[in-house]
A and B are shown apart, each in its own frame.
Chain A
């Protein structure tokens, strides 16, 4: 109930306006939305690329954080970033220990967009291969250590 009402409000706002570089790919129910994001400056790592974010909401959203990952779909790739694993899992404190219920889909998209914009490293997180092979799909099951404030 909580999640549905809140997401309904978010959706009607999102349909009215979204910041540049962010658009809805699909939002047909209140459990799973897909958002497309694009980096707007000339960062060569992400130039002319569109990436797709998958949002999974539990019934307790926004008290509980949504699960947000990049997905490969419609030719979208997983962006190269030292905090983004090649299976699309994003290591971002905002989506974990620093989640706040005043965050919303739009603000999360903007945070991830700026995380890409400011990145200059063409690399994956350390241990990416092992991590991806271990089959973690859900960021909720991971205890990330948010130790790197440089990117």
Chain B
């Protein structure tokens, strides 16, 4: 018997390439979720990895780094926070 496919719907899931169950140290939301100010995870609320190998939601680390008292340091290890290439 030959079957002719007339129509099909593709369904996909995605997740960041991060260890499961890990949370952003600043907001404590899963990396696969979004920062408290965003509605949808994904490209709208990306992650960022520092040279020190600590990761955060981009928006979370920005709100920290942008204030003077942060002195540009990673909240985890207190090394200078620089984006990993």
- Chain A interface residues toward B at CB < 8 A: 1-2, 4-6, 9-10, 60, 62-63, 97, 99-102, 104
The B interface is mostly helix, strand or loop, or mixed, namely loop
Inter-chain CA distance A64–B26, complex, in Å, is: 11
A101/B64 in contact, CB under 8 A? yes
Asked if B63 CB lies within 8 Å of chain A CBs, one says yes
Tell me the minimal C-beta distance from B22 to chain A in angstroms: 13
Tell me the minimal C-beta distance from B12 to chain A in angstroms: 28
The A interface is mostly helix, strand or loop, or mixed, namely loop
Inter-chain CA distance A10–B73, complex, in Å, is: 24
Residues on the A chain within 8 Å of B37, using CB: 1-2
Tell me the minimal C-beta distance from B81 to chain A in angstroms: 11
B36/A102 in contact, CB under 8 A? no
**How many inter-chain contacts with C-beta < 8 Å in the A-B complex?**
38
Given the known A-B contacts A63-B67, A97-B69, A102-B75, are A5 and B25 also in contact in the complex, defined by CB atoms under 8 Å?
no
Residues on the A chain within 8 Å of B29, using CB: 5, 9
Show 12 A/B contacts (Cβ-Cβ < 8 Å), sorted by A: A1-B37, A2-B27, A2-B36, A4-B36, A5-B36, A6-B27, A60-B63, A97-B69, A99-B69, A100-B78, A101-B25, A101-B75
Produce 1/0 per residue, B25-65, CB < 8 A to A. 11111000000110000000000000000000000100110
Asked if B76 CB lies within 8 Å of chain A CBs, one says yes
Inter-chain CA distance A90–B73, complex, in Å, is: 24
